[in-house]
Amino acid sequence: MKITILGSCLSGMALALRLLQSRHEVEICIPETGLDSCSSGYLFNSVSLESLSSLGLKLRNWVTPLRGGRAYSVSDQFRTESGNFLFTADALRLHQEIQKCVGEDRYRFGAQFSHFEPYLGYKIESAHFKNGTRSNADLFVGADGVQSVIREMHIPGPALSLSHTIQISGTSTTGNTAAIFNERVLSYKIPQTFGELIIYPVDSESVSWRLQVDAKGLLIHSNSSSEECRKLIFKWSRNWPKELRPIFSEEAINAVEISKCSDRRLPRFFHKDNVVLIGKAAHPTLPDLYSGVDSDLEDALLLGDLLDELENGFFASLDICLTEFIRQRRPLLNSRIRRARTEQNRLLSAS
């Protein structure tokens, strides 16, 4: 099959690698002019690490293992809690590694999606872009994130609903992460903002962090600039445990992103015609501070397997194949949605 992936989310890039293993023809269309880094590094478990490795990525030499599990703050001291092994990776480095494996010639940058046309029965022939170009394919995959244009224009489903929480994420340069983290994820409850913070090392000199706060009564909103967020985080951090202060000095913070947390019931289908959604475009749910890339990678690997089965005659049509995709994904995704809602209710009830 010829498959066009629309968007730069990890789910789409991982799917490209999986499809190339089965000799499908793949193109990745990205609206940005180059690979962009997320504001925080990736956090994933051992199953996700094996999934990425199964796609041909050589990761073990540069991912950071967090063998100590989580740690919780107790009067400026940190108590280690054992748990499943976690791993972290710099987002831009991972994107670059995938690009090398996929092949730079299969990436089309500056391709901002405009519309699909023409319709031939229940099949779309082309995705058109605002720069006047287009891409023809047998299957189009929307992997363009929570604010998915593909979902909005072609597979709307239940609407996004905004929650009362805001998530701020970022990276900081510390110079020596080993002394602070000791191979752990640090978790800290923030009384001033009725929020919760997690921090984890990405490499020997940088860390990523995510802060989820109750937005009511705070002088911050989802349209705040990066500089406003940086100053606010620095102000809050003055009252945090002393071990954390070097991470949140104005000089240390080098990337910040703010987003209004949203929720959405799962749609009946993730597809319409020969267009399918994966990753956060398909299931944008309340962010769980400890969630990583598990759902995105599961989407990519399962869809790749099902498309292989379609090619081998297991399914009578593409529609049946894509219907099977959501049938298998729905139970686990619903479980994660319920867990994220429980965590948000806990955060809001504390405030």
237: domain CATH number is 3.30.9.30
199's tokens: 């921090």
DSSP structure class, residue 302: H
Question: The CATH number of the domain where 6 resides is what?
Answer: 3.50.50.60
Mean pLDDT of the chain: 83
β-pairing, 70-74 vs 185-190, is parallel
Question: Are 258 and 278 in a shared domain?
Answer: no
Q: What is the spatial distance between Cα 169 and Cα 262, in angstroms, rounded to a whole number? A: 15
Judged by average pLDDT, the poorest of 9-18, 32-41, 203-212 is: 32-41
74 located within any domain: no
CA torsion angle 303 120 113 56 (round to 10): 30
117's tokens: 């046309």
Query: Regarding predicted confidence, which is higher, 165 or 100?
Result: 100
Q: Is 306 helix (H, G, I), strand (E, B) or coil?
A: helix
For the cut 80, the answer to whether the pLDDT of residue 351 exceeds it is: no
Q: Supply the pLDDT for residue 76.
A: 40
Q: Supply the pLDDT for residue 251.
A: 83
Last residue of a domain, one of 262, 286, 305: 262
77 located within any domain: no
Phi, psi for 295 (deg, rounded to 5):
-65, -40
In the chain, what are the helix, strand and coil shares in percent, each to the nearest 5? 35, 30, 35
Question: Are 119 and 8 in a shared domain?
Answer: yes
pLDDT digits (tens, 9 = 90+) for 243-299: 778 888 878 888 788 877 777 788 889 999 999 999 989 987 666 666 667 888 999
**DSSP H helical ranges for 103-183:** 149-154, 177-181
79 located within any domain: no
Judged by average pLDDT, the poorest of 60-64, 144-148, 309-313 is: 60-64
Last residue of a domain, one of 197, 232, 262: 262
Burial of 313 (0-12, 13-18, 19+ CB in 10 A): exposed
Query: Regarding predicted confidence, which is higher, 15 or 237?
Result: 15
How many residues are given for the chain? 351
Longest dimension (CA), the chain: 65
54 located within any domain: yes
Q: What is the spatial distance between Cα 225 and Cα 267, in angstroms, rounded to a whole number? A: 33
Residue 30, amino acid? I
**Structural domain count of the chain:** 2
Question: Are 137 and 244 in a shared domain?
Answer: no
Q: Which domain holds residue 174?
A: 163-262
Other CB atoms closer than 10 Å to residue 56's CB: what's the count?
14
Residue 310, amino acid? L
Q: What is the spatial distance between Cα 128 and Cα 302, in angstroms, rounded to a whole number? A: 27
Question: Are 194 and 150 in a shared domain?
Answer: no
Question: Are 60 and 178 in a shared domain?
Answer: no
Q: Could you tell me the CA-to-CA distances from 282 to 148, 186, 191, 326 in Å, in that order?
A: 8, 30, 34, 10
Question: Are 170 and 45 in a shared domain?
Answer: no
293 located within any domain: yes
Question: Are 300 and 152 in a shared domain?
Answer: yes
pLDDT digits (tens, 9 = 90+) for 50-88: 888 999 898 878 888 886 555 555 344 445 444 557 888
Contact 236, 228 (CB under 8 A): no
29 located within any domain: yes
Q: Any idea what the Cα angle at residue 149 is, between residues 143 and 155, rounded to 5°?
A: 85
Q: Supply the pLDDT for residue 84.
A: 56
Q: Which residue matches tokens 């099977």?
A: 324
Question: Are 120 and 30 in a shared domain?
Answer: yes
Q: Supply the pLDDT for residue 337.
A: 83
150 located within any domain: yes
Last residue of a domain, one of 247, 262, 277: 262
Judged by average pLDDT, the poorest of 8-12, 95-99, 136-140, 345-349 is: 345-349
Question: Are 185 and 334 in a shared domain?
Answer: no
Question: Are 209 and 243 in a shared domain?
Answer: yes
Question: Are 21 and 145 in a shared domain?
Answer: yes
Question: Are 184 and 116 in a shared domain?
Answer: no
84 located within any domain: no
